[in-house]
Amino acid sequence: MQNSDNEGVIVLGATPIGNLSDASPRLREIMATADIIAAEDTRNFHHLAHALGIKINAKVMSLHEHNEAHKLTEVLELATEGATVLVVSDAGMPAVSDPGYPLVAAAMSAGIRVTAVPGPSAVLTALALSGLPTGRFTFEGFLPRKTGERRKRLDSLLNEDRTMVFFEAPHRLNDFLDAAIEAFGPEREAAVARELTKKFEEVRRDSLSGLRAWAEDGVRGEIVVVVHGAPEADAASIEDLLPKVASLVDEGVRMKQAVADVAEKFGAKKRELYEAVLASRHEAEK
């Protein structure tokens, strides 16, 4: 029901990522008492409520990536009028690779109170179970689907020394691992976590090449990939950058320009890289 002081609030509610028992008492309470529920998929939300045995009295509306921009004004107006608006995604915390960020930003700009009911997180669960360093990490979400764009994103992370967490679809896992091997090398440690908190939960820790061999025949389920950051000693060397220059040249970029682009991107000395490229070509021609 509406707040007695007529102060509306937007609540981000973390929903289970697999095991329904992970739904917190606070989530159950706000699901039962909110005035408005903005759900990424209304059918999935009703299935969740039914499974949890919660009677929903609120108006349930859709709020997903394709309509969020158009729904912002309506949701903000409802909160301004005093409504408690619960925002939920299909799994985990809204606004993290899910709808919610534009709404939160707009609400804060409008002076509307925003709070959260914390809970399950695929990012933190995979990180904790990966066996890789957890003190510092970066969440990269889903990489671009196009090969060139995906390669550029991974290239930009070559010197990233924090543990990296990625989301990936099961049917694209092998493409991801191939690209990661090209960017980071086959021996970089990583982990693939699938079906977290579910019956067939599995976390596989190995080198990127080992994971690629394991995943050859396909891997099912929701996927999170965790990749070890670059050790300081493994920061991009000139030898690391030669394939990147070659790749640009293959795409039609002039060699001098390719050298300049790669050197600037990875902080290498242009002259040193250029000489290494010439030496590599000379060696290949022998």
Beta carbons within 8 Å of 251's beta carbon, 6+ residues apart: none
Its pTM stands at 0.78
194, 202 Cβ separation under 8 angstroms = yes
**Residues written for the chain:** 286
Q: For residue 236, what pLDDT is reported? A: 62
- pLDDT tens digits, residue range 228-285? 998 765 456 788 888 889 988 988 999 999 998 888 777 777 888 988 999 888 777 7
Q: What average pLDDT does this structure show over 98-110?
A: 92
168, 158 Cβ separation under 8 angstroms = no
- pLDDT tens digits, residue range 13-63? 999 999 999 999 999 999 999 999 999 999 999 999 999 999 999 999 999
Q: What average pLDDT does this structure show over 193-218?
A: 96
Query: What is the rounded CA–CA span in Å between residue 132 and residue 192?
Result: 11
Sort 43 into a burial class: Cβ within 10 Å, 0-12 / 13-18 / 19+.
exposed
How many beta carbons lie within 10 A of that of residue 234, not counting itself?
Answer: 17
